[in-house]
Copies of this chain bind each other. A is one copy, B any other.
Amino acid sequence: MTSMSGDTSTPTTARRPTMRDVARLAGVGVKTVSRVVNGEPNVSADTAERVRRAAAELQYEPDLHAGNLRRADGRSHTIGLLVSSVANPFAAQVHRAIERVATEHGYAVFATSLEDDPVAEQRAIAALSRRRVDGYVVTPVHDDQSYLRVHLDRGTPLVCIDREPAGIDVDSVVTSNYDGARDAVRHLVAHGHRRIAFLGDLERIQTARLRRAGYLDELADAGITPDPALIVLDLHDDASATAVTRRLLTLPEPPTAIFSSQNLVTVGAIRALQQLGLEHDVALVGFDDVEAGDLVKPRVSVVAQDPDRIGRLAAERVFARIGGDGGPARQIVVPTRLVVRGSGEIARPEAQRGGS
């Protein structure tokens, strides 16, 4: 109603108002403005109202960082998230879940893509440390996280997701890679398969090794001797997965089922099966869900991870730590879910039942 000056036109470059400007306009001291802005008690109703009006008039926005400098708890109300890539669908869903929890707590999230580069991991941590984040959620890439201990000692919590950290004892939230792989293989064995191929991700990735172990142990428990010819490791993209799958399927004794241990590898396997016209004859179960995996024919069965839950649990751990939880480090394992859609339920051909 009562506008300060008649000038309502666009100012060229306005200085950002500070608490002092608001104080001056409201005719009070800065500390009183501070009290009103932060909802502290002991301010009379009409002083508060005058301050609020002045703040609104100047469109005042407090400077969170300036406040933190002096504030007792020194919280930046910001956390950092390190993932393989924010564009990776799995990581993106984890990110969304974390963001949801963060927003509830009034926190903002810095997300950084590491692209599996250990050096990027350290650089990202340093960049976030300079920005004084209150906590980290990290997908470990580096083979040793002990360099992070100094941050823990200074009271900045860290939670690892997807992979277990090495060299530090912190909370972690990971998928049940080993059990999930066993579930997949057990499912295929239950449909009569004995020649089950394994398409593995890069062996240097911990989760890939766990999935391979699950595959081998489940075969062993089923009394099946693994055929080394059917085990291919270190696949990381769909093109090489396609090539390898084609080769396996044209062996003299081809597999009757395939367990592919990762997203893109599953896509590559599907493509190979389609190219050879074998998609209805050879069973396939993938680890990790495939986008639009229910549009393909046959629809693709998978052992699905739960990125939403992983993200939520990880965020809850971080905020518990920020909130002062000093308990021992927790290892949380999120189970996988077998999604039955068709490709994994293709039975071993009758022709072969007699053989072997």
Which of A92, A109, A149, A153 lies at the interface centre, i.e. has the most chain B CB atoms within 10 A of its CB? A92
CA distance A113 to B109 in the complex (A): 11
For residue A293, which residues in chain B have a CB less than 8 angstroms away from its CB?
Answer: 292
- Evaluate contact between A96 and B108: CB separation under 8 angstroms: no
Which residues 287-310 in A have Cβ within 8 Å of B in the complex? 290-297
The verdict on A110 contacting B108 (CB below 8 Å), with A64-B132, A96-B86 known, is yes
Query: Are B292 and A78 in contact, with the CB atoms below 8 A?
Result: no
Give every chain B residue within 8 A of A16 (Cβ-Cβ): 154
CB-based nearest B residue for A17: B154
Chain B residues within an 8 Å CB radius of A59? 150
Query: Is A61 part of the binding interface, using a Cβ–Cβ cutoff of 8 Å?
Result: yes
Asked if B78 and A85 make an inter-chain contact with CB atoms under 8 angstroms apart, the answer reads no
Binary contact readout A1-22 vs B (1 if CB under 8 angstroms, 0 otherwise): 0000000001111111000000
Within 8 A of B (CB), among A127-173: 127-132, 149-150, 153-155
Is A229 an interface position by the 8 A CB rule?
Answer: no
CB–CB A108/B131 < 8 A: yes
| Contact flag A153-B11 (CB < 8 Å), given A86-B92, A93-B87, A108-B128 | yes
Determine the chain B residues whose CB is within 8 A of the CB of A130 once the complex forms.
61-64
The answer to the question of A270 belonging to the interface, with a C-beta cut-off of 8 Å to chain B, is yes
Q: Across the two chains, which residue of chain B brings its CB closest to A123?
A: B103
A225 sits at the interface (CB 8 A): no
Q: Which residues of chain B are near A126, meaning CB under 8 Å?
A: 61
- Interface: A247 (CB within 8 A): no
Q: Which of B64, B99, B108, B291 contacts A292 (CB 8 A)?
A: B291
Give the interface size class of chain A.
35 or more
- In the assembled complex, the CB of A266 is this many whole angstroms from the nearest CB of chain B, namely 10
Binds B, one of A65-73, A199-207, A332-340: A65-73
Assess whether A348 is interfacial by the CB under 8 Å rule. no
A111 beta carbon closer than 8 Å to chain B: yes
Query: Closest residue to A297 on the B side, CB-wise?
Result: B297
CB-CB nearest in chain B for A153: B14
CB-contacts of A63-103 with B (<8 A):
63-66, 68-69, 76, 78, 85-89, 92-93, 95-96, 99
Q: Which of A88, A89, A154 gathers the greatest number of chain B CB atoms within 10 Å?
A: A154
User: Taking A130-B62, A292-B290, A296-B295 as contacts, is the C-beta distance between A85 and B96 under 8 angstroms?
Assistant: yes
Picked from B66, B111, B128, the residue with its CB within 8 Å of the CB of A111 is B111
Does the CB pair A65–B296 fall under 8 Å?
A: no
The reply to whether the CB of A194 lies closer than 8 angstroms to some CB of chain B is no
Which residues from chain B contact A267 at a C-beta distance below 8 Å? Answer: 292, 295
* B residues in contact with A93, CB < 8 Å: 87
Interchain CA distance A128-B62 in the complex, whole Å: 11
* Chain B residues within 8 Å of A150, by CB: 14, 59
20 A–B contacts, CB within 8 A, in A order: A10-B153, A13-B155, A15-B154, A59-B150, A64-B130, A78-B110, A86-B86, A86-B92, A86-B111, A87-B89, A87-B93, A87-B96, A88-B92, A92-B92, A99-B113, A108-B112, A109-B110, A267-B295, A271-B295, A292-B295
List the 9 closest A-B pairs by CB distance, nearest first.
A65-B65, A291-B291, A87-B96, A92-B92, A64-B130, A292-B292, A87-B92, A295-B296, A61-B129
